[in-house]
Chains A and B, each alone.
Chain A
Amino acid sequence: LAKTTQPISMDSYEGQEVNITCSHNNIATNDYITWYQQFPSQGPRFIIQGYKTKVTNEVASLFIPADRKSSTLSLPRVSLSDTAVYYCLVGGSSYKLIFGSGTRLLVRP
């Protein structure tokens, strides 16, 4: 299973766009890239998933370059309620989701 590396923490302000980059140099051909969000005292929640290029939903965008060795989660115009831990996961050929340490995002007023 591919290992991921992402920043431990990030700070932002309300209304800004936040980009969290994840490195996954050993990603396999049939692996997907998935991002989860976890608020305190809650279980992780699926945000977005992609395989290549760009995926967008009502919450975020996911940018994946051609070599797929990294990916960037983009949160447009964050609010205080976006303060959470964000996990980048790589897999898909297996049921095993490997959650790393995640990125702790703090949105300030």
Chain B
Amino acid sequence: DAGVIQSPRHEVTEMGQEVTLRCKPISGHNSLFWYRQTMMRGLELLIYFNNNVPIDDSGMPEDRFSAKMPNASFSTLKIQPSEPRDSAVYFCASSLNERTDTQYFGPGTRLTVL
């Protein structure tokens, strides 16, 4: 298995632009998570999907952030408009089920907003 796949690996954009991050979870996994990691705040859960349905989006910073999971093999995290404070590494993770199951993380997307 290729593991969780994220694209792009690096993204540099200018303030105000729309940014779309993509994730392909491990096949057969029912749960998908988006995290954001910064030096100041560490690793934070943004949103959690189970069976393609958003279950908990309480970690999404504000309305500029949105996430979708149109099918079991694809999810997007969109930021519109982007701001410099959105600069971070964004990780996608998947697990077989929720609760105690191990979460498998992708390599992350390093986003820089100028």
Residue ranges of A at the interface with B (Cβ–Cβ < 8 Å): 32, 34, 41-46, 49, 87, 92-97, 99-102
Contacts and interface: CB of A to CB of B under 8 A. Distances in A.
Interface in B78-114: 91, 93, 95, 98-100, 102-108, 110
A92 B103 CA distance: 12
Contacts of B75: none
Q: Is the interface of B mostly helix, strand, loop or mixed?
A: strand
Contact of A92 (B55, B99, B105, B107): B99
Interface of B: 4, 31, 33, 42-43, 45, 48, 50, 55-56, 91, 93, 95, 98-100, 102-108, 110
A96 B95 CA distance: 12
Given A43-B106, A45-B105, A49-B100, A96 B43 contact: no
B107 A96 contact: no
A42 B103 contact: no
A97 B45 CA distance: 8
B107 A101 contact: no
Contacts of A93: 99
Nearest to B4: A43
A46 B99 contact: no
Given A42-B108, A43-B91, A43-B108, A96 B45 contact: yes
A22 to B, nearest CB: 15
Given A99-B43, A102-B42, 7 more contacts: A34-B102, A41-B110, A43-B106, A43-B108, A44-B105, A94-B99, A95-B48
B31 A95 contact: yes
